[in-house]
Amino acid sequence: MLVHVADVLDANELAHCRQRLAHAGWKDGKSTAGYQSAQVKHNGQLAEDDALAIELGELILAALARNTTFFAAALPRTIYPPLFNRYSGGEHFGLHVDNAIRYDRRQQPALPIRTDLSATLFFADPEEYEGGELVIEDSYGTHSVKLPAGDLVLYPGSSLHKVTPVVRGARIASFFWLQSLVRSDEQRRQLFELDVAIQALTARVPGAPELVSLTGIYHNLLRAWADV
């Protein structure tokens, strides 16, 4: 399931992040790639322990915590601290799949996180750069993603994906992974669709008697499928 989450950051948060990242100390992005991914990764990245990455990462996590669409789609159990990258001058990231397990070394001992879902949060608007599409291949086909600044795309960590060369301007984004309460992408999709339907019915027919039954079904499915 691929989900577009709009307006993760408000205007003030987005402006703050863009201003701070404009003067960031970008390093070689290969530092956080696995062996295979490192062969096709060409970009700049903030070090995981960079003070700016930690500061903005906490801002992003706070924004995600209040976003109901993100929560409904992801059902997050653990979120890997957000990382930050920059593509310019032809830089790109070839076709790859993310590591199945990431270790959050800010925790001691290091916390293993199963990468059920991958996320990219955009800081540059599409017209600010040419190229830089996030191309995701899944069971439903190939998707090319290039979202407005402040928006996020959420997709299965098991998907093959790439970032096409940026030939004009700069593509700046945050990316991270998360372990969901529900391991199965298909089960998460069903829960998300049911949640969205319940919210729509609530808005259209407040107090509809069917809402109690549908909400009960949602929670019973979540109870059966949750990995806690």
pLDDT digits (tens, 9 = 90+) for 39-80: 899 999 999 999 999 999 999 999 999 999 999 999 999 999
| Amino acid in position 21 | L
3-180 CATH fold: Jelly Rolls (2.60.120)
What pLDDT was estimated at residue 209? 93
Q: If you search the block for the tokens 């199965």, which residue do you land on? A: 184
H or E, element range at 40: none
CA atoms within 13 A on the CB side of 195: 18
How many C-beta neighbours within 10 Å does residue 207 have? 7
Residue range(s) occupied by CATH 4.10.860.20 in the chain: 185-225
Contacts of 4 (CB under 8 A, 6+ apart): 145, 147, 151, 152, 153
Tokens of 169: 């301007």
Backbone angles phi, psi at 80, to 5 degrees: -70, 140
- The whole-angstrom separation of Cα 59 and Cα 82 is 10
CATH 2.60.120.620 residue ranges of the chain are: 3-180
77-133 pLDDT per residue, tens: 999 999 999 999 999 999 999 999 999 998 889 999 999 999 999 999 999 999 999
Backbone φ and ψ for 181, nearest 5 degrees, come out as: -65, -25
Indicate the average pLDDT of the chain.
95
Cα separation of 88 and 132, whole Å?
9
φ/ψ bin of 132: left (φ > 0), alpha (ψ from -120 to 50), beta (otherwise):
left
A 10 A CB-CB count for 169 gives: 18
3.40.50.10860, 4.10.860.20, 3.40.50.2000, 3.30.200.20: which CATH number matches 185-225?
A: 4.10.860.20
